[in-house]
Amino acid sequence: MSAVDDTQQKRSATIAVIGSGTVGRSWAACFVRGGHHVRIYDVDADHAVTTIAWVRDALRTSGLSDTEVDSCAARVHVVPTLEAAVNDAIWVQENVPEDTLIKSQIFQALDKAANRQAILASSTSAIPASQFVSSIAGRNRCLVAHPINPPHLIPLVEVLATHWTDERVLARALKFLRDLGQEPVLIRREIQGFVSNRLQAALINEAMSLIGKGIISPADLDLCVSRGLGLRWAFLGPLETMDLNAADGFEGYARRFKNSYFELGKDLNVDRRWTKSATDQIAQWRRSILPAREIGKRQIWRDHLIVKLRRLIDSSTR
């Protein structure tokens, strides 16, 4: 990376957010909290306007004072065209629907309109970027920066280059995300679903199968994670968990349990469709304890707990 690029990234820069749905608006909060100016473009003009109020609430939830919220919100602008959003931006975060054709069209337009130095990043959850940037001239500056929702509260970002991505672009991207306070992990090769969603799919598909077969109730299944595995996973990865689950560490754990994992692995049902019986049971259970109109309230409760938990974890010696 050149000295010019480095300086440009450190000072308050302009960031473009394309698509301001669930993930785009949370990225906007994250960028503006990091000191940047944010320009948001969404095809749905009404949607884009409600974003500012949403960003203000998100910043408040993440612990900013009213004065800080005001000063951050003053740097968020909703603009009427994609060109106006990317003009002068050093980073463009694409958050349009998970559809290869829509993403291909957007990346064509972004590549034409954006400053030549700008990095074009996609929030895609599962589609390798090669599938939507192959035919654009500036494919060497495109990559995936996949957040875990909501990125203004959860720091992990999966970064994936394509085989066209310039090494210096990748290095700048990782640095930009770290400077922002996010925690990027590099996925070394393009793979469908990346890593977090592959892990999530394995767990969720097996959960659906167990519920569908009547082996456990939806409420008890959730307890297995919320009052069991998840208490460790909130601050340890599954690999460190294994290391601490044996007096002789991971080597002893692997020796004792690798055969059980192999046998269990053969019995799992991670490649089946979710059955109607499983989805009906879960929907019935959820709506019996949380009416649909109260989902927003419960999301706020979740977000406050994430903030408290992160503070607790960050303040503990690691």
Ligand X SMILES: NC(=O)c1ccc[n+]([C@@H]2O[C@H](COP(=O)([O-])OP(=O)(O)OC[C@H]3O[C@@H](n4cnc5c(N)ncnc54)[C@H](O)[C@@H]3O)[C@@H](O)[C@H]2O)c1
Binding segment for ligand X among 123-131, 155-163, 214-222, 266-274 (CB under 6 A)?
123-131
> Which of 80, 97, 181, 228 touches ligand X by CB under 6 A?
97
CB of 202 to ligand X, least distance (A): 18
Task: Answer yes or no whether residue 23 interacts with ligand X by CB under 6 A.
Answer: yes
Binding segment for ligand X among 91-99, 160-168, 224-232, 240-248 (CB under 6 A)?
91-99
Contact between residue 62 and residue 307 where contact means Cβ atoms under 8 Å apart: yes
When CB distances to ligand X are compared, the closest residue is 21
Contact between residue 32 and residue 76 where contact means Cβ atoms under 8 Å apart: yes
Residue 82, class by beta-carbon neighbours within 10 Å (0-12 exposed, 13-18 middle, 19+ buried)?
A: buried
CB of 226 to ligand X, least distance (A): 19
Residue (2 or 135) nearer to ligand X, CB: 135
Residue (41 or 91) nearer to ligand X, CB: 41
Q: For the segment 56-75, give every residue that binds ligand X (CB under 6 A).
A: none
Q: For residue 302, give both structure tokens.
A: 């979740």
Q: For the segment 146-175, give every residue that binds ligand X (CB under 6 A).
A: 146-147, 149
Closest among 34, 35, 39 to 52, alpha carbons compared: 39
> Which of 6, 44, 66, 314 touches ligand X by CB under 6 A?
44
Contact between residue 144 and residue 129 where contact means Cβ atoms under 8 Å apart: yes
Separation CA 63–CA 146 (nearest Å): 24
Contact between residue 41 and residue 76 where contact means Cβ atoms under 8 Å apart: no
Closest among 147, 125, 158, 193 to 26, alpha carbons compared: 147
CB of 255 to ligand X, least distance (A): 37
> Which of 35, 37, 47, 195 touches ligand X by CB under 6 A?
47
> Which of 15, 36, 42, 133 touches ligand X by CB under 6 A?
42
Contact between residue 17 and residue 41 where contact means Cβ atoms under 8 Å apart: yes
Task: Answer yes or no whether residue 286 interacts with ligand X by CB under 6 A.
Answer: no
> Which of 96, 121, 142, 173 touches ligand X by CB under 6 A?
96
| Amino acid residing at 282 | I
> Which of 62, 93, 95, 182 touches ligand X by CB under 6 A?
95
Q: For residue 137, give both structure tokens.
A: 């001239």
> Which of 9, 16, 17, 20 touches ligand X by CB under 6 A?
20
Q: For residue 213, give both structure tokens.
A: 């077969």
The Cα-based distances of 168 to 16, 172, 191, 288 in angstroms read: 20, 6, 22, 52
Binding segment for ligand X among 7-15, 119-127, 286-294, 308-316 (CB under 6 A)?
119-127
> Which of 124, 162, 165, 182 touches ligand X by CB under 6 A?
124
Task: Answer yes or no whether residue 128 interacts with ligand X by CB under 6 A.
Answer: no
CB of 145 to ligand X, least distance (A): 10
CB of 122 to ligand X, least distance (A): 7
- Name the H helices within the chain: 3-10, 22-33, 45-61, 66-73, 82-86, 100-113, 130-133, 167-180, 196-212, 218-224, 230-233, 238-244, 249-267, 276-289, 295-315
Binding segment for ligand X among 16-24, 263-271, 292-300, 305-313 (CB under 6 A)?
16-24
Interaction site with ligand X (CB under 6 A)? 18-24, 41-44, 47, 95-98, 102, 106, 123-125, 146-147, 149
